[in-house]
Amino acid sequence: MQRTDTTYDNVSHVNHGFQHEEQRPLPYAPPSGVNPALPQYPSPQNPQYPYQISHPPHSLDRYSPAQNLHQYTPQTAPVNTHHTVAHGLYLDANPVHKAAPRRKKWPIIVGILTTLLVVGGAIAVVLWFYGVFDCNLGRRCQTDNKCVGLSQWCNGVQDCSSGEDESNCFRLFGSNFVLQKFSNERKNWENVCSNEWNDNLGRQACEKIGYDRNTYVGFDEINISGCPSNKGVALKCIECGLNNMRRIVGGSTVTSKGTWPWQVSLQISRNHVCGGSIITPYWIVTAAHCVDELSNAGAWTVYAGFLTRTEMRSATGNSVSRIVKHSNFEPRTNENDIALMKLTHPLTMTSNVRPVCLPNEGMYFDAPRECYITGWGTLSSGGSAPDTLQEAKINLISRTTCNNRPVYNGRITETMICAGKLQGGVDSCQGDSGGPLVVRENSLWWLVGDTSWGDGCAFRNKPGVYGNVTYFRDWIYEQMRKY
């Protein structure tokens, strides 16, 4: 974390002022519909429907036009031979007049039939390719390739072996955690009404979203339209985003434990390597580039609830059982720079160890929104590392501004979010990676980014670039469900 009081020249030439984001961050899944991670309807014409375009090799077993063509060819030959023999019989009866026209007819018929079959086969291949024969009355499960009827998705009964037909049916909306359910009949998200709700269902919904039933808090009735008494459900799957609020001074040493209780230090051989954020007692969000070449879970130790490196030196820390790196992480560009660490044993939550909230559906964080970064990273580019956790107040920078030629000239994709000061002076730096970029909303702290990259640190026009956690929400939940 770097903070200098340096005044930079030409600030007005550089800072073009706030420009609104033109695009909302898109979820990681194919960007379409209300929630791209949800059942996409298997219209064969819909090119965004992911399961019909790619055909697993064994779909050939079900319908193989190629096979039909092969079967045909050997059949043609014997038929032809047989009739040639018959010619011999006819020759006895009428040796001259009958043999000549028959010899010309058969090759023509065979030719026509072959052409028809080839054309028919080609049409079948095309139809099959576009999914007409491929589960056209339902949707295919990704894991077991079973074709499950549309009405069976989100009906409360698990049909795919992985349960994916029931896993994207609930979501939390907005900073009040309004519970929504996907309606199969109306094909949209609807608020869940509190008159038909209880804690048992709440626990189940939280589990389906990706949380552990042990972190379940409860639900509140919330005023909402479209319900009998206009009462909906605000579902708390985990107590998140709370801290011991002290007065925050931008860009300085953190003085109290519990100010950023989700901040962890990720270490290898007792050396701080990267930062991370607690999102549940088991799961830490960090950057993919932190674990890219150090992907062995056993090498890492997670330190939670500490303020100084000194304290951590004499502490035990928590072992890691699994590292899940985003499979589309691109080290050259830092595209999809996000990873998860699962701890061997769950963290015990205290006032100094607490999870941050993951942004809900419908939450957008726009420039120039105030936000905070924290970490044990170096105090300047190539500089020394602090003993005590540092914090800095910065602002979100729109993707448009951040992609301007003097800034990052088009290198900022939708999987990234920029934050900092265009005039320079305050920024995250080496060793802050993987750590949190948080925003306060509705009295809670939300994880908006994970520290990813930058050209140097705190230079003018080179703000910090963070993994766009809002964009990765569905990916994160999917991994938490899977592992």
- Known catalytic residues are 289, 337, 433
Write down the least CB distance from residue 204 to ligand ARG, Å: 39
363-392: contacts with ligand ARG (CB under 6 A): 377
**Does 453 contact ligand ARG by CB under 6 A?**
yes
User: CA–CA separation, 237 vs 172, rounded Å?
Assistant: 10
Burial 235-254 (b: 16+ CB within 10 A, else e): bbbbebbbbeeeeeeebeeb
User: CA–CA separation, 438 vs 375, rounded Å?
Assistant: 12
- The HSE-up count of residue 44 (CA atoms within 13 Å, CB side) is 13
Nearer to ligand ARG, 251 or 431 (CB): 431
Write down the least CB distance from residue 415 to ligand ARG, Å: 15
Residue 233, Cβ density class (10 Å: 0-12 exposed, 13-18 middle, ≥19 buried) = buried
408-447: contacts with ligand ARG (CB under 6 A): 427-433
Nearer to ligand ARG, 368 or 456 (CB): 456
User: CA–CA separation, 422 vs 150, rounded Å?
Assistant: 50
Write down the least CB distance from residue 265 to ligand ARG, Å: 12
Residues 6+ apart with CB under 8 A from 29: 36, 37, 474
User: CA–CA separation, 18 vs 27, rounded Å?
Assistant: 24
Write down the least CB distance from residue 37 to ligand ARG, Å: 29
**Does 25 contact ligand ARG by CB under 6 A?**
no
Nearer to ligand ARG, 267 or 280 (CB): 267
Residues 6+ apart with CB under 8 A from 123: none
Residue nearest to ligand ARG (CB): 454
To the nearest 10°, the Cα dihedral for 219, 223, 224, 230? 100
Write down the least CB distance from residue 16 to ligand ARG, Å: 20
Write down the least CB distance from residue 275 to ligand ARG, Å: 8
- The HSE-up count of residue 240 (CA atoms within 13 Å, CB side) is 29
**Does 276 contact ligand ARG by CB under 6 A?**
no
For the chain, how many residues are written?
Answer: 483
Cis previous bond, 368, omega within 30: yes
Q: By CB under 6 A, name the one of 371, 454, 471, 472 that touches ligand ARG.
A: 454
Chain residues binding ligand ARG by CB under 6 A are 377, 427-433, 451, 453-454, 457, 464
